[in-house]
Structure 1
């Protein structure tokens, strides 16, 4: 649905859903967004932003309030979008003896969550569970409501990868934050989409190395969106049209596969590309059984 002509019956059904569901869901979603903005506004009163990072450093009750409210309201927003149930599966690696992880010797906490990127809904799910920081366009920080929220999330705002000697660049900033999260359990983990773009979820594109430069363990999380009429995967459609059609569906589905923390071997620590490729291959071929495109 949404990518070709509809039969008359389907068109009438779409109009009815648009009239009944979209206004209610839009209003509910805006109320949730404003509510969380107000929480963030109160919690950032009298708190200065860190100039180099462009975000307020929240501690104590401020941090707790932002995280708890963010998790609860993100789950409520998913409900508004029609994701009433979320099926989560915790999987082990089928061929654990072939994967160097070191879980038996040390219980490692991940420095980053690595996830496939299927839809803008991915962010809401991860916020509702782990409340991580992530990389966002610099323009997001200036948006009404969303700008302050993204700063409280601890997003890294980027315009382009800088090669200047006085700048760490995007990769350097991400690596620093991943290492910080790994060393300090009170810091937010980074959420990274190593594919670099959204896909339809049927393939796993080659991973970029940014998530693996810090040489620390990562938490693989895989998202899938089963559907009957309209796919929540945002791969080629205009954003506004996609949101509209998603809101028109009575029920949307999301399935989550959470894998054990992947601890890199010494060889993988020295070769981020090898580390990235091994995690990708493990997820695609041994866990999800999806083909790897030859690119």
Structure 2
């Protein structure tokens, strides 16, 4: 489910850009068609460079011992995890189907969701959703999740009284490393996400996304009857900030995934609502295979992830960030200040590249001549 949500929501275009059937550039001194070597490009696109034992695109040379371990895992561990994952998804779908029976979905400007259900139905959907997401992470080998919750110190004011309910954050802001980020956030707070409109029509995942309260966006359409991404997100963030029964929005303002060591520039959509946000930092420590979805195809990533017996997530939940009056009037300033805070607290390196450079890097890895996007930007 998480793979579908993440790839179809447009949050991570990079994984699909790396097709295995095309040749990988083998020499760091090889030109990419514009006079720039792959080694130079990797230095420029350091946020997307894969550094684990499996090498670039997960296709590096492995010792015989590692190949034997992979072979054993493929015939033993992978089938068990695959079946368990499908069963978890199916059971949760049936729970969502039962809870939404005879319930009319919320419809607004082409949107359809069940996120605003109340009573036992909503309680069952949320509790089972959080449990199912955590169970899915367990299946993927994330047996323990280390959480450094620094937000607890802000739940009370200086007089020891609980903060006002209207000051709840309207959005959770997270760095983006993998499609696994979605599963963690679902298990932690069960928020709403942004997804392509086509996600709503997918088997199993479609109904689950409606129960999450996803914002469906048809990016290809310029018709006036569809809200823009920023407008829809702003409304939902404001609603979540003001109404405790409205699901919190979960946003990845970087717009794509990195190797986990860097933080890309933030898009301003999450900050236009002028509401406080909750910054969350995710790290995936590893020894052999990195769970980061950077420069590796989706299928290869899932397979190698399932083959690894144990995986790790480190989470840092920062205190709620309340924007100043100046930040409320300048969404770019607000976004930049939150980004700098997350980089400092999470030990992340700030990078000024984006999705365009990621596509250029992937094209080079696949042996294709580079698009002009990167060089036009440099000019």
Consecutive unaligned residues in structure 2, runs of 5 or more: 1-53, 152-156, 354-379
CA drift of 1:164 comes to: 4.4
Aligned runs of 1:91-240 on 2, under 5 Å?
91=150, 108-160=167-219, 164-240=223-299
State the TM-score, normalized to the length of structure 2.
0.72
What is the rounded CA distance, in whole Å, between the counterparts of 1:292 and 1:224 in structure 2? Answer: 15
In structure 2, the residue matched to 1:11 is 67
Q: Does 1:43 pair with 2:99?
A: yes
In structure 2, the residue matched to 1:96 is none
Contact 1:91 1:260 in 2 (8 A): yes
Contact 1:161 1:170 in 2 (8 A): no
Stretch moving more, 166-175 or 9-18:
166-175
In structure 2, the residue matched to 1:283 is 342
CA drift of 1:159 comes to: 2.1
**Residues paired across the two proteins, number:** 286
Contact 1:162 1:169 in 2 (8 A): no
Aligned residue among 267, 270, 285 for 2:326:
267
CA deviation profile, 1:70-93 (whole Å, cap 9, x unmatched): 01111111111000000000237x
CA drift of 1:41 comes to: 0.1
CA deviation profile, 1:213-254 (whole Å, cap 9, x unmatched): 000000000000000111100012111111111000000000
CA drift of 1:162 comes to: 5.6
Contact 2:218 2:226 in 1 (8 A): no
- Tell me the secondary structure at the aligned position of residue 278 of structure 1: helix
Stretch moving more, 7-16 or 204-213:
7-16
What is the rounded CA distance, in whole Å, between the counterparts of 2:339 and 2:256 in structure 1? Answer: 15
CA deviation profile, 1:142-174 (whole Å, cap 9, x unmatched): 111111001110001112076544443111111
Contact 2:173 2:251 in 1 (8 A): yes
CA drift of 1:26 comes to: 0.5
Stretch moving more, 194-203 or 158-167:
158-167
Stretch moving more, 152-161 or 73-82:
152-161
What is the rounded CA distance, in whole Å, between the counterparts of 2:225 and 2:91 in structure 1? Answer: 39
CA deviation profile, 1:41-80 (whole Å, cap 9, x unmatched): 0011011223322113422111000000001111111111
Contact 1:110 1:261 in 2 (8 A): yes
What is the rounded CA distance, in whole Å, between the counterparts of 1:282 and 1:183 in structure 2? Answer: 25
- Tell me the secondary structure at the aligned position of residue 273 of structure 2: coil
In structure 2, the residue matched to 1:65 is 124
- Tell me the secondary structure at the aligned position of residue 238 of structure 2: helix
- Tell me the secondary structure at the aligned position of residue 76 of structure 2: helix
In structure 1, the residue matched to 2:49 is none
CA change 1:214–1:104 in 2 (3 A) is farther
What is the rounded CA distance, in whole Å, between the counterparts of 2:137 and 2:295 in structure 1? Answer: 22
- Tell me the secondary structure at the aligned position of residue 190 of structure 2: coil
What is the rounded CA distance, in whole Å, between the counterparts of 1:68 and 1:188 in structure 2? Answer: 13
Contact 2:174 2:280 in 1 (8 A): yes
What is the CA RMSD across the aligned residues, in angstroms?
Answer: 1.9
Contact 1:224 1:256 in 2 (8 A): yes
What is the rounded CA distance, in whole Å, between the counterparts of 2:102 and 2:348 in structure 1? Answer: 50
Contact 1:134 1:192 in 2 (8 A): yes
Q: Does 1:258 pair with 2:317?
A: yes
